[in-house]
Structure 1
Amino acid sequence: MPTDNAIKLNHLLSPFAFLYGLGVRLRNQLFSWGLLPSEQYPIPVICVGNLSAGGTGKTPHTEYLVQLLSNQYKVAVLSRGYKRKTSGYILARPESTSAEIGDEPYQIKTKFPNILVAVDSNRRRGIQNLLALPEVGRPNVIILDDAFQHRYISPSLSIVLTDYNRLYYYDKLLPVGRLREPITSIRRADVVIVTKCNEGLKPIEFRIIEEDMKLMAHQWLFFTGIHYADIKPVFPSEAMPKTKDSIQKEDEILLLAGIASPVHFIKEAEKYSDKVTALTFADHHSFRKKDIKRIKAAFDKMTSAGKFILVTEKDAARLQNNPHLPEEWKKVLYCLPITIDFCTNKQDVFNEMIKKHIITVQRNSILR
Structure 2
Amino acid sequence: MRTEGDFIKINKNLLPLSWFYGLGVGLRNMLFEMGVLKSHSYRTPVISVGNITVGGTGKTPHVEYLIRLLKDKINVAVLSRGYKRKSHGFVMAEADTPMQTIGDEPFQMKQKFPEVTVAVDAKRTRGIERLTEDKSEKGVGVILLDDAFQHRYVKPGLNILLVDYHRLIVYDKLLPAGRLREPVKSKDRADIVIITKCPKDLKPMEFRVITKAMRLYPYQQLFFSRLEYDVPTRIFQDSDTPEAPASLDILTGKNVLLLTGIASPKQMKHDLSPMCAQLTPLVFGDHHQFKKKDVHCINETFSALPEPKIIVTTEKDATRLTQVEGLSDEVRQNIYVLPIRISIMQDQEEEFNKRILDYVRKNSRNGFLVKSKDDHKSDNSHRSGDRPRTISFRNF
What's the TM-score, normalizing by structure 2? 0.86
Query: Is 1:192 the equivalent of 2:197?
Result: no
- Alpha-carbon shift at residue 128 of structure 1 (Å): 1.2
One-letter code of the match for 1:133? Answer: D
Distance 1:124 1:324 in 2: 41
Does the 8 Å contact 1:187/1:216 carry over to 2? yes
Residue 339 (structure 1) aligned to one of 338, 341, 355? 341
Equivalent-residue separation in structure 2 for 1:327 and 1:116 (angstroms): 36
The residue that corresponds to 1:296 in the other structure is 299
- Write the deviation string for residues 43-102 of structure 1: whole angstroms up to 9, x where unpaired: 110000011112111111000000000001100111111111222111111112221111
Are residues 1:287 and 2:290 paired?
A: yes
Contact 1:308–1:334 under 8 Å retained in 2? yes
The answer on whether the counterparts of 2:225 and 2:345 sit within 8 Å (CA) in structure 1 is yes
The question of 1:176 aligning with 2:180 is answered no
Deviations 1:245-284 (A, max 9, x none): 24441x3322201111111222333233213221111111
Q: Offset at 1:104?
A: 0.9
Distance 2:196 2:175 in 1: 21
Which position in structure 2 is the counterpart of 1:126? 127
Q: Once the 2 structures are TM-superposed, how far is the Cα of residue 136 of structure 1 from its aligned partner?
A: 5.9
Question: Is contact 1:97-1:321 (8 Å) kept?
Answer: no
- Between the aligned partners of 1:106 and 1:276, the Cα distance in structure 2 is 28
SS in 2 for 1:279: strand
Native 8 Å contact 1:50 1:162 kept in 2: yes
CA 1:48–1:151: 2 relative to 1, 3 Å: same
Q: Which stretch shows the higher mean deviation, 348-357 or 82-91?
A: 82-91
Matching residue within 238, 242, 248 for 1:244: 248
What's the counterpart of residue 3 of structure 1?
Answer: none
The letter of the residue matching 1:337 is P
Contact 2:132–2:138 (8 Å) recurs in 1 = no
Q: 1:135 Cα shift?
A: 5.3
Unaligned residue ranges in structure 1 (runs of 5+)? 1-5
Matched letter for residue 97 of structure 1: P
Corresponding residue number in structure 2 for 1:205: 206
Cα contact 1:288–1:324 (8 A) shared by 2: no
CA contact (8 A) 1:56 1:161 kept: yes
Q: Structure 2 counterpart of 1:297, which letter? A: E
Aligned to 2:265: 262
Paired amino acid for 2:364: Q
Distance 1:180 1:63 in 2: 24
Q: In 1, are the aligned partners of 2:77 and 2:140 still within 8 Å (CA)? A: yes
1:94-130: CA deviation from partner (whole Å, max 9, x where unpaired): 1122211111111111111100111111111111111
- In structure 2, the CA distance between the partners of 1:248 and 1:223, relative to structure 1 (3 Å rule), is closer
Among candidates 361, 364, 368, match of residue 363 of structure 2: 361
Give the superposition deviation at 1:137. Answer: 5.4
For 1:328 and 1:247, locate their aligned partners in 2 and report how far apart those are by CA, in whole Å: 17
SS of structure 1 residue aligned to 2:223 = strand
Measured in 1, the distance between the counterparts of 2:262 and 2:251 equals 24
- Count matched residues: 357
Give distance in 2, aligned partners of 1:152 and 1:247.
Answer: 46
User: Could you say which residue in structure 1 is the equivalent of 2:313?
Assistant: 311
Which residue identity is paired with 1:315? D
What amino acid sits opposite 2:64 in the alignment? E
Gaps (5+ residues) in structure 2? 1-8, 368-394
TM-score for both structures, normalised by structure 1: 0.92
What per-residue deviation string (whole Å, max 9, x for no partner) do you get for residues 127-156 of structure 1? 111112325653110000000110110101
Distance (whole Å) between structure 1 residues aligned to residue 301 and residue 321 of structure 2: 17
- CA-atom RMSD, angstroms? 2.0
Q: Matches of 1:246 and 1:180 in 2, distance apart?
A: 39
Are the equivalent residues in 2 in contact too, given 1:132–1:138 (CA < 8 A)? no
CA shift in 2, pair 1:332/1:38, >3 Å: same
Contact (CA 8 Å) 2:164, 2:195: kept in 1 or not? yes
* Alpha-carbon distance in structure 1 between the residues aligned to 2:269 and 2:79: 30
TM superposition shift of 1:175: 0.6
For 1:212 and 1:120, how far apart are their aligned partners in 2?
36
- Which region of structure 1 is more displaced relative to structure 2, 53-62 or 142-151? 53-62
Which one is further off, 73-82 or 207-216? 207-216
Which residues of 2 match residues 39-50 of structure 1 at below 5 A? 39-50=40-51
Once residues 290 and 177 of structure 1 are traced to their aligned partners in structure 2, the CA distance between those partners, rounded to angstroms, is 31
Q: Which residue of 1 aligns with 2:13?
A: 12
1:278 maps to 281
- Contact 1:253–1:307 under 8 Å retained in 2: yes
The structure-2 alpha-carbon separation of the partners of 1:321 and 1:327, relative to structure 1 and needing over 3 Å to count, comes to: farther
Given that 2:299 and 2:331 are in contact with CA atoms closer than 8 Å, whether structure 1 keeps it comes out as no
Equivalence map 1:45-60=2 (5 Å): 45-60=46-61
Percent sequence identity is: 46
Greater displacement, 146-155 / 89-98: 89-98
Partner in structure 1 of residue 162 of structure 2: 161
Instruction: Indicate the larger mover: 333-342 or 261-270.
Output: 261-270
